[in-house]
Structure 1
Amino acid sequence: MALLKRKKYVVWAAAFGGAVFFSAVFAKQAAAPAQLQPTADEKKAARSSVILLKHLHYEHRKFNDALSSQVLDRYLKDLDGSRSYFLASDINAFQAYRLTLDDEISRGDLDNVFAIYTRFQKRAVERLDFVLGALEKGVGKVDLENHQVLETKRDNAPWAHNAAELDDLWRKRLAAAVISLRLAGKSDEDIGKLLTKRYQTQLNNLMRTRPDDVFQAFMNSLAESYDPHTEYFSPRTSENFNINMSLSLEGIGAVLQNDDEYTKIVRLVPAGPAEKSKQLAPGDRIVAIAQGNEDFVDVVGWRIDEVVDLIRGPKGSQVRLQVIPAGAADEHQTKVVNIVRNTIKLEEQAAQKRIVEITRNDRKYRIGVIKLPTFYADFQGMQSGDPNYRSTTRDVRRLIDELKAEKIDGMVLDLRNNGGGSLTEANSLVGLFIETGPTVQIRSANGDVEVMGDSDPSVEYDGPLVVMVNRLSASAAEIFAGAIQDYGRGLIVGSTSFGKGTVQSLRDLNYGQLKVTEAKFYRISGASTQHKGVEPDVTFPNIYDNTDIGESALQNALPWDTIPPARYLPYTGYSKQLTRLRLLSQQRQNADPDFKFLNAQITLADALKKDTVISLNEKERRKEQDELDQKRLVIENARRKEKGQELLKTWREAEKANDADGNPDTVDDPDPTAKEKPEDEAYVKEAGQVLLDSLSTPEVKVARSASLHH
């Protein structure tokens, strides 16, 4: 097949897309929430979405009663997946819509969609009123001496028949929360304050629900009834998606978080306007915002996305913030900060490099490691002719040049946790490591196959290469890893990848965008990654449960299949040495304290997962927790003993030693510059060791084979 003209596709796993789920949107106790109604724009967007789904989706599913029934079930699950709010009578009432939603949505009638949400909102307020009322009586009044249990896996539990049954469920949930916090060392006074704040915040958020929240939630229930990666983006979500793809935005460079009624600064983006101003700091709380010389707008009690909308703005414009400084003696002690907005580079998601040194046979080897969190491209900058636009391939090319100048002996490309992104970037990145040839095949719904490839004979890096993947490596990451593996250009190490083999395109609507699955991609060998993912050449411990994470764990995932292979010329590769390379790696893993630790942790986690019932007796739970802590301590001390480190007496000491987060309610953004844990670094070092093993194999050369695969 000829290499065809490239299209702009996005290939990103839904698990990393940041969808809105209403089970996290709840509520305050004062008054009934305002009646929500769909807007004219939302009605029109619904009609347009139906047309696009009918004609563009890969499956060409009929928009009929069968789909209507599926959409209703999905919507109810998205709203109340734990079956903790709706009553059986509510569910029975909703059956009237089961076979009519398809007709209603087609004509833009969203009344019943909003009616279902309104009922959910009412039930959620009732539940939160109940639990807040129970907390008002005092934590000491919660019964923790009974021998009841709480079933945590409730997706198939029967719907409650009346409020009394839900009261009983929520009493159990409250008891479980109190016990967990007592086991964490919290006093009853602190527990009462913490849980009251938690549920009150949920109540406040529910009261702030807007029509576009309801619309986006339902439209995603509709879209994901086709497949897990078809999604609706509201205008705000579209903006955030573009920011993530381009790695830039125009604003002040501050990471924000809700803190009761306030918006708190959690972190300042390095080299951003906020950090450069020296006037803001983490912990500052924003109380009002003004544009230039305009009047201040009070934002206490606002949703965080609304606050963000006021802070973002064009480069060069001024925004004024009235803040309560961190550590202020009282809430009336405020100051005004003037900041000029600028373009913020989100460097944390950009490709980054470092060098890992490994000593073997008295020689020190330098392994270049490039960490690639996502496949990004500034499409707007590219289209506008910006000579400095950001992209994965541009950044990696620059990093490779820097690493070559530092005299590396080999390279590890780390694609762990890379959820995908731009298909074009995955294709062009492969081109940095091969001469010419196809990289991926794309089959459209009508069966046409397009082959993307590299036509540039230049090679940026022709040395030894290892690519790291794990269960969270998806889409574009799988395209790259699959191509490198099919060519025999490098070794793939880690665990089986996500298994997403579908391609999405973004379609503009009058209100937001629709991300539609329009094609499937296949490796140049003809194999699909759908469901099966990319199998590593050398396996490392998998810390993720494949039954919970991955394409095969998602509802409505498209099936696996194959197509004929493309014509390509592979490199001599590593196929004859894989048995040896696997054996050497396994021997090291079996002897390595960090890998032993990981495998023991995985075994323990697998055992814990099987138990979905929680005791509501504090003494029993404390005994269970002590036993679990002892098991964890044994695992930790076994590692410390092998490393010659001091043994610990309690699991709490181990948590502190490992910088574990002992506060179950901490939601601050983690420090992206934080040092990796020893077990995380073990993966990188073992990838380097595998690379060195391959260097000692004389048959392995980075040269093209004499035989053409087709």
Structure 2
Amino acid sequence: MKKRFLAVIPCIALSFLFVTPVFSEQSKAPISPEDYYITLAPLPEFKQTCVSIIANLKRHHYQELTLNDELSSRIFDNYIDSLDKGRAYFTAADIAAMQRYRYILDNALAQGNLQPAFDIFNLYQHRTVERFAFMANFLSSKVDTLDFTRDETLLRDREESPWFSDKKALDDLWRRRLKNELITRRLSETDTDKVEENLLKKYTNSLNRSRQMKSRDVHRIFINTFTELYDPHTQYLPPRASEDFNIHMSLSLEGIGALLQMDNEYTKVVSLVKAGPAEKSNLLKPGDRIIGVGQENEEIVDVVGWRLDDVVQLIRGPKGTVVRLRIIPADSADSAMSKVIPITRNTVKLEDQAASSKILDIPLADGGTHRIGVVTIPAFYADFNAHQAGAPDYKSTTRDVRRLLEKLKKENIDGLVIDLRDNGGGALTEAAALTGLFIDKGPTVLVRGRRNRVESYPDPEPGIIYDGPMAVLVNRMSASASEIFAGAIKDYRRGLIVGTQTFGKGTVQSLLNLNRDNGQLKLTIAKFYRVSGASTQHRGVHPDVAFPSEYNLEETGESSLPEALPWDTIRPIRYKPYHQASFTPIVTRIKELHDKRSDASAEFTFLKGYNAYVETLRQKDRIALNEKVRKEEKEANETFFLGLENDLRVAQGEKPYKDYEAMTAARKAENEEKNDSEDEEEDDDDTLLEECAYVVSDFARLLEK
């Protein structure tokens, strides 16, 4: 168990030094922002693309929006937010001057006129260049004026703050941001002598990159600020992005197996491809922010503020090569907790995502044992081409699970766990077919499209393959098809749902080709509903027996995405639940037994304590800019996490670590050993899975009474 939880401890910098500025020589000539200004204009072909996108959204999207002044105002706000979410570039005067565009964007879009969008972006480009030049000039000539003993702070999130009144106020914000970056790097980087030099290089590179923006970049940004108002999964994919999407869907991309998105100026990990290089490494997690990318042993390049497709291109590379990522872990409340992780690029193969099984022996009070079968399903997959070609042995989730269940039944299991943790979904038909293995007959999921047309997906094959006690183990990254299956098992009362609230993605997307090779439009065309009539959208599926979450529920999942479609209900379809009379009191008793075990569990105590402490760190809305205070905060964090880990080790009969450095060194060695090992079997020490097996054992015992 320890191995699974050890990976979530944030890596806090090992060294701290007060560093004197390296730019003591005569100052260079200041950088002039005007040298980096560019003015972009829409290309003629954008008009047809724009008109085509609007027509397809109107014709096919699940949600009907009217292109009017109200929507124009929302587009304006979303566009400004996409450019300057942290309110660090525009001034209040800039925003006031741009108000003339607020109610004309609807008519401009309808006519394919993107000039207003380009006017706004050109001003934004000028403002970013001015900020980068300010930082570069400050680093070159004024860095020694910064007072690191002064008690001042930096607001973590300025999204809801007012726009600054003038350039002077912005200068003060960026001076504070520079202080924070310097302190952060001194706390987290080993080569502290090059902190200022590396920062100067970062802003010089940012200035150079600002001139590389093209009209197609502006086109994509603006169109997607419009499509995002329909829902977060509706997106315009220009030719290059469209090609990337198709490569991703075919799983032929040689990379790290991670879905990324922009989060303000950061590249954020949304999810990991199951059995992909990143997931196997156990070093990268959803919610982590990538701030630097390096090849093999080359210098790591700062990618804060980069375009997403440029970051992706940097991460990609030949199979077998190593990419080094500097990340800020999702569970870090301080950017000084950044760390560098190596991931070996590879191709995700279908066989790596195949279902697998094992048996856990759970001791009983009377000295006996319950044999609990575990079927782990990384994804809902199906080889559609082989199936359509009539191949008798084509691979699919349902066919593989059926075979595993038959094998487990021969092993005389007393109960079953279906492990769907981190399963991001896949084929809808497979979710329906898999449900059919555990119910005799009936509907499995409802799909509502435009104009309230509802289609039911029935169990494709009568009869039950496994009728014993079971539980479905889920977490926050269990999404889409996983939620369809879990929701059906819950509604039919066929088994227990154990773990945490699931992702909440209850929508169906389709990909449309635009005319004249102008890319593709990915848009939402339908919503999923459980047989009870409840949507899985936004809320996901809630567990019967709740476990502590390994993910922050507020920062991950559908509910964390702007403009996510709401949860709702439709008329339920007729279905026949199992265990109708006895189910509720059994669940109540099972929860009591689980609470008793978890209260006495060192592993659960560890996870609860970890989550509670990280949450207190997240509640801090300001960052201290006093270097001594930051060092003390860092040391306090190290002391807490060391103590938490040592309490766990002592409870498990292991020797405690001498200090924080020893703990992080052991963790690094463990990860390196795992990456070097050819044995890809999962760790047996999985407390959450083991506790879920105990829950199923309780379920089996109570059903017998």
Q: TM range, normalised to the smaller chain?
A: 0.7 to 0.9
Q: Is the 8 A contact 1:471 1:544 kept in 2?
A: yes
User: Shift of residue 135 of structure 1?
Assistant: 3.1
Q: Does 1:518 align with 2:525?
A: yes
Matches within 5 A, 1:355-370: 355=358, 357-361=360-364, 367-370=372-375
SS in 1 for 2:423: coil
Q: Is the 8 A contact 2:38 2:126 kept in 1?
A: no
Q: Which residue of 1 aligns with 2:489?
A: 484
Q: Is the 8 A contact 2:362 2:697 kept in 1?
A: no
Matches within 5 A, 1:622-633: 622-633=631-642
Scaled by the length of structure 1, the TM-score of the pair is 0.75
Q: Which of 648, 652, 669 is the aligned partner of 2:657?
A: 648
Matches within 5 A, 1:592-603: 592-603=601-612
Q: Does 1:222 align with 2:226?
A: yes
Structure 1 residues 305 and 325 mapped into 2: Cα distance closer, same or farther (>3 Å)?
Answer: closer
1: CA distance between counterparts of 2:105 and 2:400?
47
User: Shift of residue 368 of structure 1?
Assistant: 4.3
Q: Does 1:414 align with 2:419?
A: yes
2: CA distance between counterparts of 1:57 and 1:672?
46
Q: Which residue of 2 aligns with 1:353?
A: 356
Structure 1 residues 62 and 38 mapped into 2: Cα distance closer, same or farther (>3 Å)?
Answer: same
Q: Which residue of 2 aligns with 1:80?
A: 84
* Structure 1 gaps, min length 5: 1-27, 258-267, 271-280, 287-301, 313-320, 327-342, 663-668, 701-710
2: CA distance between counterparts of 1:688 and 1:676?
16
Q: Is the 8 A contact 2:360 2:374 kept in 1?
A: no
Using the TM superposition, name which of 506-515 and 64-73 deviates more: 506-515
Structure 1 residues 164 and 404 mapped into 2: Cα distance closer, same or farther (>3 Å)?
Answer: farther
SS in 1 for 2:221: helix
Q: Is the 8 A contact 2:360 2:372 kept in 1?
A: yes
Q: Which residue of 2 aligns with 1:611?
A: 620
User: Shift of residue 386 of structure 1?
Assistant: 7.5
2: CA distance between counterparts of 1:60 and 1:434?
37
User: Shift of residue 41 of structure 1?
Assistant: 4.2
**What amino acid sits opposite 2:489 in the alignment?**
I
Q: Which of 671, 677, 686 is the aligned partner of 1:681?
A: 686
Q: What per-residue deviation string (whole Å, max 9, x for no partner) do you get for residues 341-387 of structure 1?
A: xx954359724425353441466665444444444456667667777
Number of residue pairs the alignment of both structures matches:
604
1: CA distance between counterparts of 2:629 and 2:323?
44
Structure 1 residues 49 and 655 mapped into 2: Cα distance closer, same or farther (>3 Å)?
Answer: same
Q: Does 1:538 align with 2:545?
A: yes
Q: Which residue of 2 aligns with 1:61?
A: 65
Q: Is the 8 A contact 1:285 1:324 kept in 2?
A: no
Q: Is the 8 A contact 1:29 1:200 kept in 2?
A: no
1: CA distance between counterparts of 2:492 and 2:33?
61
2: CA distance between counterparts of 1:309 and 1:593?
40
Structure 1 residues 364 and 627 mapped into 2: Cα distance closer, same or farther (>3 Å)?
Answer: same
SS in 2 for 1:558: coil
Matches within 5 A, 1:431-580: 431-510=436-515, 511-572=518-579, 574-580=583-589
2: CA distance between counterparts of 1:385 and 1:113?
51
1: CA distance between counterparts of 2:222 and 2:49?
12
2: CA distance between counterparts of 1:639 and 1:309?
38
2: CA distance between counterparts of 1:522 and 1:34?
49
Structure 1 residues 220 and 408 mapped into 2: Cα distance closer, same or farther (>3 Å)?
Answer: farther
1: CA distance between counterparts of 2:157 and 2:541?
30
Q: Which of 115, 130, 138 is the aligned partner of 2:119?
A: 115
User: Shift of residue 557 of structure 1?
Assistant: 3.2
User: Shift of residue 486 of structure 1?
Assistant: 1.2
Matches within 5 A, 1:7-156: 32=36, 35-137=39-141, 142-156=146-160
1: CA distance between counterparts of 2:464 and 2:395?
20
* Structure 2 gaps, min length 5: 1-31, 260-274, 278-293, 300-308, 325-345
User: Shift of residue 65 of structure 1?
Assistant: 0.8
SS in 2 for 1:47: helix
User: Shift of residue 620 of structure 1?
Assistant: 1.6
Q: Is the 8 A contact 2:36 2:208 kept in 1?
A: no
Q: Is the 8 A contact 2:38 2:125 kept in 1?
A: no
2: CA distance between counterparts of 1:478 and 1:397?
20
Q: Which residue of 1 aligns with 2:647?
A: 638
Structure 1 residues 452 and 324 mapped into 2: Cα distance closer, same or farther (>3 Å)?
Answer: closer
**What amino acid sits opposite 2:47 in the alignment?**
K
**What amino acid sits opposite 2:478 in the alignment?**
S
2: CA distance between counterparts of 1:48 and 1:101?
16
**What amino acid sits opposite 1:283 in the alignment?**
E
Structure 1 residues 38 and 146 mapped into 2: Cα distance closer, same or farther (>3 Å)?
Answer: same
**What amino acid sits opposite 2:511 in the alignment?**
L
Structure 1 residues 243 and 354 mapped into 2: Cα distance closer, same or farther (>3 Å)?
Answer: farther
SS in 2 for 1:446: helix
Q: Is the 8 A contact 1:351 1:396 kept in 2?
A: no
**What amino acid sits opposite 1:562 in the alignment?**
T
**What amino acid sits opposite 1:73 in the alignment?**
D
User: Shift of residue 604 of structure 1?
Assistant: 1.1
2: CA distance between counterparts of 1:613 and 1:532?
30
1: CA distance between counterparts of 2:207 and 2:52?
34
User: Shift of residue 407 of structure 1?
Assistant: 6.6
2: CA distance between counterparts of 1:575 and 1:483?
17
Structure 1 residues 371 and 96 mapped into 2: Cα distance closer, same or farther (>3 Å)?
Answer: farther
Structure 1 residues 94 and 443 mapped into 2: Cα distance closer, same or farther (>3 Å)?
Answer: same
2: CA distance between counterparts of 1:536 and 1:198?
46
1: CA distance between counterparts of 2:315 and 2:618?
38
Matches within 5 A, 1:218-367: 218-246=222-250, 248-249=251-252, 283=296, 303=310, 344-347=347-350, 350-355=353-358, 357-361=360-364, 367=372
User: Shift of residue 151 of structure 1?
Assistant: 0.4
Q: Is the 8 A contact 1:65 1:100 kept in 2?
A: yes
User: Shift of residue 610 of structure 1?
Assistant: 1.6
SS in 2 for 1:439: strand
Q: What per-residue deviation string (whole Å, max 9, x for no partner) do you get for residues 42-81 of structure 1?
A: 4322211212222333332211110011011111111211
